[in-house]
A and B are shown apart, each in its own frame.
Chain A
Amino acid sequence: MRARVQVFATCLGENFFSDVLKDMVTVLERLGVQCEFPEGQTCCGQPFYNSGFQSQTLALARNWLRAFANTTGYIVAPSGSCTDFVRHRYLELFPPGAPEHPQVEEIASRAVEFTEFLTRVLKVTEMGAHFPHKVTYHAACHSLRNLGLRDEPKLLLQAVEGLELVPLAEEETCCGFGGVFSVIYPEVSRAMMDAKVKNIQASGAEYIVTNEPGCLMNISGVLQRIGSPIKPMHLIQILASSKDSSRPSP
């Protein structure tokens, strides 16, 4: 039986991190997985839900369900936050009794985050990646706490040839993104972010890696503002790096 997955691009992925999505497909295909991209997907609705606009979320969630209806196999996203949202919060948006509920149970339960898919479904950590650099890892909140991915992303990094994984102090503390929070309370977000970046700088790493586009957007913004030479990368981009590929600086 041929493995088949649906690419859940996420709106941040599609609009800001198209390279990450390309790498995700590349890595999956390298592992023998056939990727499909359901047309018509937009945003899962999380930004609305988290801002309190639950009824505005419904239209987006229905569109997401429509896009992934009639597909088979796992729905793989480069984001633990979006995965968590469709897998867990859709059940609250469409509780038992709602017409969409059976669909949510069938479709949204197939959603998995990329590192979760590799380590828990495919059960692989080694995929021939090569990245001869000093790297540190930031644990994204929703992957860590809502999907329970504490060691899995690091196992994948440790299996990369040439990669030296150095510890990050307060690895599990939020970077201060928090979606709408960072716009409503930018000063607090900034304080959290500055603490995160201080720890990243102290780690001695050349690269800061995480598996969450939101964190990446936040952390890369600060690093750029302060002119830091430390380069932010999505974990998928590291896994896609091979000996032959010369990786362009992100």
Chain B
Amino acid sequence: MPDKAHPRIGFRARSRSVPPNIPAAVQRATSLLLAKRSAAVAQVPEWEGWRQAAHDARLEGISHLDEYIKIVQARVQSAGGNFHLARDSAQACALVVEIARAGGVRTVVKSKSMATEEIGLNHALEEAGIASFETDVGEFIIQMAGVGPSHILGPTLHMTKEDIAELFTRKLGIDAPPDPRALTDIARSALRERFLSAEMGISGANFVVAETGTVVLVTNEGNGRLCTTLPDIHIAVAGIDKIIPDWNSLAALLRVLPRNATGQKLSTYTSFITGPRRSEGEEGAREFHLILLDNGRSRIRSDPAASETLLCIRCAACLNICPVYNHVGGHAYGGAYSGPIGAILSPQLLGTNIAGDLPFASSLCGACTDVCPVKIPIPSILLHLRHRIAEGQVAERPSVPFRVRLMASLASIGLSSPWLYHTGAFLIRLGQRPFQHGDRLTALPPPLNRWTNVRPFPAFRGGFQKWWHTRRSARSQTFSKSQNLESSLPARETASQPANLSLAAMDRLIQEVNLVAGHAQHITLQEIDAALATLVAVGGIKKAALWQTDYITRLALADRLRKLGVNIIPATADKRALAEADLGITEVDFALPESGTLGLLSSPDRSRSISVLPRAHLAVVRPQALRPDLQQVFQEAKNEGYLVFITGPSRTSDIESVPTLGAHGPEALYVWAMD
């Protein structure tokens, strides 16, 4: 929706009309997320250094944005993709509609994206007669409910499972039980056909890496992978602020984002997409577009006191910790972005005349800044915006009423003169008597009744100065102890300890995969048949699809499965046929023991969808796939057109924060460490 049409956001009216059950639902979810974050951060002694590095990486991108935008454009185009820069919401929406029409698109599947929420893309597509389906379980639910997201990560955080069951029953005409597993399955099956038939997939981007023009998506459910793999056309819509310089910056950011957001070392899926598919036999979109969205971001950049707003990586930790957010929920903020980041971002994107209430919706407690992984000075930016709203700026008139400004001027004159200050305090002590009950003022006239309606105000009482003067003249001063007060305040030191790397890499990988709900084990060649037989029996496997890499072929897994009565779907089959597989088998190109992460590339032999469409995924890891850290993998893979990181089975926590596996991707992840 275009900015001009946005109605003024009245925070007080919205925060007063929050249904009483919402704070409880919100607090249950945010406290869970915070507990997971705390546990993850506690494992990283060098956390403060990581935050600083993440801050620096983001600042570099934002500081030289104009140059990086040009680099992104060049890299995306040389990778065979299309690059667009949209000035505002209307232009971004028009671009998407235009691309869709040119491609004869009737149906779009969308993965979760705050940028497309910001520009109101679904509405624009709908008006153009194009069906647009949100596929994130949470977004699927709120699209059905007809409301915006109430949280950056968990759009449905304010809803109970009963609310969702009632909604499904009403809208889908089925009998939906209030059970997260059943509700997730309903969403999964309702959306599977959409994925397979949509001609276009739209995603956001967590990061856009300038070095190679790569779009990075951090997700858990697998819908993002399906949206960017199955349809012929993929559009990524991202704010210009999502650009980061290079893959080293990416490594610095990927280690803080999931930990700070959900307490995961890495989210289940991290996709790295550079342009369209590179060869005919390969999976993935044949047409790729990147739409970079300005929509007020350049304006934010040009205000030095607020430009760090753009460092945000949307982890939502500031929402989780914010006492204001926890009592009002996300919808009170009236826009796509809520909580402390929404309170500084929305007024800058929409204008202080529309969202000027939001910077005042904070007690300035500072908890947000403490948990921010990129160290955005949120309270300072709130204060700066309050200043713009109260006193105006070159290009902006103050939006605070004249009478308030007049009162502030008079008060400031009174308080900056000691004589007026003391006289005023004296007069108040006389004048307060009618309102006084004991040592309290219980009912003050407006606007001060906003305080006294909630709790009494203490009565003014002087006395210190009188005491001070009487006492000083009455006594002779004697001091027995002397202290050296010139010593400066000691600086606080933090010790950091080297990480314990005593476990063998493969053992560590197995351990970490199992920690993220995967099933990992050592397997020898002799054990393959027995292990396969168990897997087939346990998973009820009838059809399987396999990568065609040399190693997978050498292991003769297809023949072994046939002997167990399993049908093999050729890897070259179309997506509908592949979607029928119960089991997908892949090799692993990279393995990161520290987080239990598997890195998979794409080629005609390496189908992208085999690791995401089936209910079960078996990944075979050889020791030569092991890498010490993200930087090493990025060094080797950054020029590939596609890379995906898999850390555990597909999951969602969108329904009452209950972790539910198999949201859109595999419910079971088996990892065989080949010795």
Contacts and interface: CB of A to CB of B under 8 A. Distances in A.
Interface stretch (A36-44, A160-168, A198-206): A36-44
A169 to B, nearest CB: 11
Contacts of A121: 485, 487, 489
A2 B479 CA distance: 8
A221 interface: yes
Interface stretch (A96-104, A129-137, A171-179): A171-179
A2 B482 contact: yes
Interface string A88-116: 00001000000000000000000010001
Contacts of A231: none
Interface in B318-366: 323-324, 327-328, 360-366
A121 to B, nearest CB: 6
B462 A193 contact: no
Interface string B451-462: 101111111111
A25 B475 CA distance: 14
B482 A3 contact: yes
Contact of A193 (B440, B454, B489): B454
Nearest to B460: A15
Nearest to A73: B485
Interface string A31-71: 11110010111110100111111111101101100010000
A56 B418 contact: no
B137 to A, nearest CB: 29
Interface stretch (B112-120, B221-229, B384-392, B641-649): B384-392
B523 interface: no
A178 B365 contact: yes
Contacts of A41: 418
Given A60-B415, A192-B323, A182 B485 contact: no
A43 B415 contact: yes
A185 B11 CA distance: 8
Interface in A229-250: none
Task: Identify which of B383, B454, B487 gathers the most chain A CB atoms within 10 Å of its CB.
Answer: B454
A9 B364 contact: no
B483 A32 contact: yes
Contacts of B489: 112, 116, 120-121
A159 interface: no
B460 A16 contact: yes
Contacts of A16: 458-461
A192 B485 contact: no
Contact of A221 (B448, B455, B481, B487): B455
A183 B450 contact: yes
B199 to A, nearest CB: 46
B416 A220 contact: no
B364 A50 contact: yes
Given A186-B451, A192-B324, A48 B464 contact: no
Task: Identify which of A11, A191, A222 gathers the most chain B CB atoms within 10 Å of its CB.
Answer: A191
A174 B363 contact: yes
Interface stretch (B169-177, B180-188, B406-414, B582-590): B406-414
A2 to B, nearest CB: 6
A13 to B, nearest CB: 7
Given A183-B451, A220-B458, A188 B391 contact: no
B421 interface: yes
A142 B366 contact: yes
B412 A53 contact: yes
A3 B485 CA distance: 6
B363 A18 contact: no
A192 B411 CA distance: 28
A59 B483 contact: no
B56 to A, nearest CB: 22
Contact of A53 (B360, B391, B451): B391
B363 A225 contact: no
A32 B367 contact: no
A189 B363 contact: yes
B196 to A, nearest CB: 46
B639 to A, nearest CB: 44
Contacts of A92: 380
Nearest to A26: B471
Contacts of A40: 418
Given A32-B479, A183-B448, A183-B450, A59 B416 contact: yes
B425 A15 contact: yes
Given A53-B390, A173-B323, A174-B365, A189 B467 contact: no
B370 interface: yes
Interface string A1-14: 11111000101011
Contacts of B391: 52-55
A57 B412 contact: yes
B348 to A, nearest CB: 15
A15 B461 contact: yes
A158 B380 CA distance: 34
Contacts of A155: none
A225 B455 contact: yes
B431 interface: no
Given A41-B418, A192-B363, A22 B467 contact: yes
Interface string A201-218: 000000000000000011
Given A42-B421, A52-B400, A141-B366, A14 B464 contact: yes
A68 B43 CA distance: 46
A146 B377 CA distance: 12
Contact of B364 (A5, A33, A141): A141
Interface string B63-103: 00000000000000000000000000000000000000000
B468 interface: yes
B78 to A, nearest CB: 44
Nearest to A81: B364
B298 to A, nearest CB: 24
B413 to A, nearest CB: 7
Given A42-B416, A122-B483, A183-B448, A218 B362 contact: no
A22 B465 CA distance: 9
Contacts of A51: 386, 390, 408
Nearest to B388: A52
A199 to B, nearest CB: 12
Task: Identify which of A18, A31, A120, A142 gathers the most chain B CB atoms within 10 Å of its CB.
Answer: A18
A54 B328 contact: no
A195 to B, nearest CB: 8
Leading 7 A-B pairs by shortest Cβ distance: A178-B363, A32-B481, A52-B390, A221-B455, A52-B386, A174-B365, A56-B412
26 contacts: A29-B479, A31-B481, A42-B415, A42-B418, A43-B415, A45-B415, A48-B412, A51-B408, A52-B400, A53-B391, A53-B405, A57-B412, A92-B380, A122-B485, A145-B367, A172-B367, A173-B323, A174-B323, A174-B367, A176-B363, A179-B364, A181-B362, A188-B328, A217-B458, A221-B440, A222-B455
Given A183-B448, A185-B324, A187-B15, 5 more contacts: A51-B390, A52-B387, A179-B363, A181-B363, A188-B15
